[in-house]
């Protein structure tokens, strides 16, 4: 882990994953946590593939178990956050010249109640106005009173075990009757211009389906 905002940035080790692995994928979730999937101890080696999903919490710098996938996801695999807050797992080379065609959908725990039933999700009715740096814009939602956080997440573009364009930007807001007044990022250093998925999360930490917005 490296914090480039410090005067003398330096790499620090994070917590150990459940298995040693290379060529894995790390996907930022609307909660701000990161789900780690796929990879293997040896290059393109099904026998040492990791089927464990680990969930990294950057606030506490800890890892917890987050379930498992069914198929080995080795080199050339992808993991992509979808607008419905699930993660698509696909691809991988089980052996050189072969390609894993089966796809999986990872459903994070935030989509479920403790008894396994689907959680009630907040909804976004519309987003009003243009999202410009340093300005405010409105998010219309019937769940305004129960919203605990709002996040902009840049759409992913993973390749070769990396998604270098990922970005999570938490936004400040105030809530009124059926509307959230949200403060946009201050500049392009915090959030480069372009399209983002806008998620709202309720007090239980359950995210909405995203609405795409253009930041300019």
Catalytic center residues: 75
Longest distance between any two alpha carbons in the chain, whole Å: 57
Q: Is-contact 214 131, C-beta < 8 A?
A: yes
Q: Is-contact 121 113, C-beta < 8 A?
A: no
Task: Compute the distance between CA of residue 211 and CA of residue 185 in angstroms, rounded to an integer.
Answer: 17
Cα–Cα distances in Å, from 162 out to 14, 33, 60, 138, 170?
A: 18, 17, 23, 33, 22
Q: How many residues does the chain have?
A: 216
């Amino acid at each position: 882990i490296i914090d480039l905002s410090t005067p003398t940035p330096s790499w620090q080790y994070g917590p150990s994953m459940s298995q040693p692995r290379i060529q894995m994928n790390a996907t930022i979730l609307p909660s701000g946590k990161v789900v780690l999937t796929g990879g293997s101890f040896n290059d393109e080696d099904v026998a040492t593939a990791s089927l464990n999903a680990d969930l990294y919490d950057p606030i506490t710098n800890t890892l917890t178990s987050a379930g498992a996938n069914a198929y080995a996801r080795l080199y050339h695999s992808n993991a992509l956050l979808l607008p419905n807050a699930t993660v698509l797992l696909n691809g991988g080379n089980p052996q050189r010249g072969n390609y894993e065609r089966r796809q999986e959908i990872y459903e994070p725990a935030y989509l479920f109640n403790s008894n396994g039933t689907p959680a009630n999700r907040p909804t976004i009715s519309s987003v009003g106005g243009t999202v410009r740096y340093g300005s405010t814009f409105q998010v219309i939602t019937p769940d305004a009173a129960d919203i605990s956080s709002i996040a902009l997440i840049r759409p992913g573009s993973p390749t070769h075990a990396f998604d270098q364009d990922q970005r999570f930007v938490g936004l400040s807001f105030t809530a009124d009757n059926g509307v959230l007044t949200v403060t946009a990022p201050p500049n392009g250093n915090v959030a480069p211009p372009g399209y983002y998925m806008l998620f709202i999360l309720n007090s239980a930490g359950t995210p909405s389906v995203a609405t795409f917005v253009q930041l300019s």
